[in-house]
Chains A and B, each alone.
Chain A
Amino acid sequence: MSISKQIVADFIANDVRFVTTVPCKQLGGVIDEVEARPEIHHVPANKEDEGMGLCAGAYMGGKRSAIIMQNTALGVTINTLVTLTQFYRMPLPMLISYRGELKEPVACQVEMAVHTKALLNQLNIPTYHFHRQEDGAELDAILKYTFMCNKPVAILTDATFWGGY
């Protein structure tokens, strides 16, 4: 099974039924699989904070939800993470493309990469970094942890994990 298919299979096995996405090249395969699987209601969002609002509504409607996004957008989601997801204690797996790491061809992406973990740390968001392919095996446990503790949890996936560009 491809990494993308395995990731979505883990989401489904953990009853995630609503996923919102903002595109990223690295996550293209995951987004295609989210769209293809009938178990998941896929709603593409125009902006990541909007997507987190959709996820909050879906969660309160009884569906476990998740967001797929790029780390460059972390800044625009800070108020939402703090005053909605965390303040109301809602679980939110955030599958994040970690642009600006090793094998990155675009210099500007590094500018957000150097702030990514610091911001997540400042927000007290549990953060996991998938670098080697085998790191993906922890996703199932990370999802169970997220829905156990009702917190936003970040899963950073870098270019090495995805096998380069």
Chain B
Amino acid sequence: MIRSEVLREIAPVLREALVVCNIGLPSQELHMIDDQPSNFYMLGTMGLASSIGLGLALSQPKPVVAIDGDGSVLTNFGTLPTIANNVADNFVLLIIDNGSYGSTGDQPTYAGKKTSLAKVASACGCENVVEVQGAEAAEALRTALDSGKMTVLVVKCESGNIKVPVITMDPVVIRDRFMKAVRS
């Protein structure tokens, strides 16, 4: 499975949560597969999906899923201790780990080599860390949301991209409709 197939699998489960989606192809793919007002698409700012997701989860009661990538977690490693030490039980950090920087042409990341993001998350103090293969992602996400416990879910999959259009929606429109979904 590649990332877009994982997103297709988990899209029905994501509808139940507020979603903060990582920059680049992940946002473009989710937008194409199942655009929802409850999706916040990052158009820039690599690395901050988990930080935005945590701030959102700490500030309101609805469940929040931050969809991150291995490359983006590597660029903002400081996020994992912050998540571990500021527990929000309505928060799931879902890392789609394809071992590559997908949006820039599938250059390999260290997560696809010696570095285990699940082990790093555990070492940072995250208490519920789960690693699954792509085919198990939807079930694992549902379990994480139902558990009522903050969870870091690492979904391992193959690298590879599909053709997908860029998001042309204005960022203020994305933000405004998202905030209305938060309040609804």
Contacts and interface: CB of A to CB of B under 8 A. Distances in A.
Interface string B163-184: 0000000011011001100110
B20 interface: yes
B111 interface: no
Interface residues of B, number: 33
B82 A41 contact: no
B53 A57 contact: yes
A60 B82 contact: no
Interface of A: 17-18, 20, 41, 43-47, 49-63, 65, 79-80, 82-84, 87-90
Contacts of B58: 18, 41, 43, 54, 57-58, 61
B44 A87 contact: yes
Q: Main SS of chain B's interface residues? A: helix
Contact of A53 (B55, B57, B175): B55
B35 to A, nearest CB: 17
Contacts of A80: 45, 48
Given A54-B82, A89-B171, A89-B175, 14 more contacts: A43-B55, A45-B82, A50-B82, A53-B76, A54-B54, A55-B55, A60-B55, A61-B55, A61-B56, A63-B59, A79-B45, A80-B48, A88-B171, A90-B175
Given A54-B52, A61-B58, A46 B45 contact: no
A42 B50 CA distance: 17
Q: Kindly name the residue among B79, B81, B182 whose own CB sees the greatest number of chain A CB atoms within 10 A.
A: B79
Interface of B: 20, 40, 42-45, 47-48, 50-60, 76, 78-79, 81-82, 86, 171-172, 174-175, 178-179, 182-183
Contact of A50 (B20, B42, B79, B171): B79
Contacts of A46: 78-79, 81-82
Contact of B55 (A44, A47, A58): A58
A164 to B, nearest CB: 32
B44 A50 contact: no
A18 B58 CA distance: 9
21 contacts: A18-B59, A43-B82, A44-B82, A45-B51, A45-B78, A45-B82, A49-B48, A49-B76, A50-B47, A50-B79, A52-B48, A53-B50, A54-B82, A56-B51, A57-B55, A57-B57, A61-B56, A62-B179, A83-B43, A88-B174, A90-B175
